[in-house]
Amino acid sequence: MKPRIALVTGGIGGLGTEICRYLARSGHRVIAGDLGSRTDRVEQFRREVAEHSDTIHFESLNVADHAGCTADLARIEADHGPISVLVNAAGITRDTSLRKMSVQQWDDVITVNLSGVFNTCRAVVDGMTERGYGRIVNISSVNGQTGQFGQTNYSAAKAGMHGFTMALAREVARKGVTVNSVSPGYCETALVMAVPETVRNQIIANIPVGRLGKPSEIARVVDFLCAEESAFITGANIPVNGGYFMDF
Ligand code: CAA
């Protein structure tokens, strides 16, 4: 059987890179989609995944622009084949309290983190339902469940992803397509390292496991949801946060 094509948006990021590795190991042909303008990071990514150079490929993709994203995905499918697995891991932060937040900071985060998910899903969902198979995993955040000081934009986008996930899960449930979200807590990524050290240490002190998460601890859950055998899990949100937020 030909390997399934998995697209990971934000694929060269902290979580994205590790998700690419896991999906490659589980037999997918993986496309890491990210901004082509990040040339230094792209080169570093290629070195980091060199052992999977046959199965992990970088493609330029801007999820923030609807027309551009649609065109990018059409090109990727023409070059590599139909996308069966979509992991939406592209995300940015523009942290500041609401009283200081500019319209630009609001729009940037909503456009990439939430509209980006619409743009990618809109482009691939018809193909998935027509072929009767698909796995969509949206990378949300614990801060979409709890809210976070300085993140009205980010928390709104990440909470919005849950609603999107549940709604789309219902629409495609009978067509062999599952849609789930994973909500990472604070992990060892550049996004978290950008938080001022004193604030970060306070956050770590409140994580019951007592440390930041490793990207691999997120990636294995994503890979699990992307497996063919996970067909009965849909519309779910899986928290992976070291006990930082527990819900029933
Ligand atoms: N709770 C309560 N008060 C807080 C606070 C908090 N968490 N953080 C700051 N404050 C207080 C400050 O002590 C300060 O008080 P005073 O006015 O009395 O001096 C005041 O609030 C600062 O308010 P400002 O409006 O000036 O805040 P700011 O616009 O400078 O923003 C911040 C501060 C940049 C948001 C900073 O608090 C911060 O970086 N917080 C962490 C945000 C965070 O956790 N981001 C997560 C990034 S990682 C990620 O997003 C990945 C993931 O999914 C987990």
Atom of ligand 1 nearest to the CA of 99: 25
Angle at CA of residue 53, ends 48 and 54, nearest 5°: 160
What is residue 248's predicted lDDT score, i.e. its pLDDT?
83
Asked if the structure places residue 116 within a domain, the reply is yes
**Does the annotation count 154 as an active-site position?**
yes
The gap from C-alpha 2 to its chain's centroid, in whole angstroms, comes to 24
Q: Of 95, 203, 207, 244, which is best to mutate to test ligand 1, by the most ligand atoms within 8 angstroms of its C-beta? A: 95
- Is 52's pLDDT higher than 90? yes
The residue segments making up the domain with residue 156 are 5-237
Decide if 247 is inside a domain.
Answer: no
Mean pLDDT of 23-50: 97
**How does the average pLDDT of the chain come out, rounded?**
97
103 in a domain, yes or no?
Answer: yes
* Domain contains 246: no
Residue 12 has pLDDT above 90, yes or no: yes
* 55-99 residue pLDDT tens: 999 999 999 999 999 999 999 999 999 999 999 999 999 999 999
Whether 74 is in a domain gets the answer yes
Domain contains 119: yes
pLDDT band at residue 40 using 50, 70 and 90 as cut-offs: very high
Contacts 24+ apart (CB under 8 A), 216-221: 216/18, 216/22, 217/187, 218/15, 218/18, 218/19, 218/139, 218/182, 218/184, 218/187, 219/15, 219/18, 219/19, 219/21, 219/22, 220/22, 221/182
Residue 156, in any domain of the structure: yes
Residue 161's H or E segment, with its range, is helix 152-172
Instruction: Indicate which residue's Cα is closest to atom 47 of ligand 1.
Output: 192
pLDDT digits (tens, 9 = 90+) for 178-201: 999 999 999 999 999 999 999 999
Would residue 227 count as lying in a domain?
A: yes
What ligand 1 atom has the least distance to the C-alpha of 186? 54
Check pLDDT > 90 for residue 1.
no
* CA 150 from centroid of its chain's CA atoms: 21
140 CA: nearest ligand 1 atom: 53
The rounded percent of the chain whose pLDDT value lies above 70 is: 100
Tokens (6 digits) for 230: 């996970």
Report the pocket of ligand 1 as residue ranges, CB < 6 Å: 93, 95-97, 99-100, 141-143, 148-151, 154, 186, 191-192, 195-196, 199
CATH number at residue 154: 3.40.50.720
Q: Give, as one character, the DSSP assignment of residue 102.
A: -
CA distances from 143 to 72, 140, 206 (A): 30, 8, 14
Q: What is the pLDDT of residue 79?
A: 97
Mean pLDDT of 33-54: 97
Provide the domain count of the chain. Answer: 1
**How much is the average pLDDT of 11-17?**
97
Is pLDDT of 130 > 90?
A: yes
What residues form DSSP beta bridges with 181? 138, 237
Pocket test for ligand 1, best of 199, 240, 244, 245 (most atoms within 8 A of CB): 199
Mean pLDDT of 110-116: 98
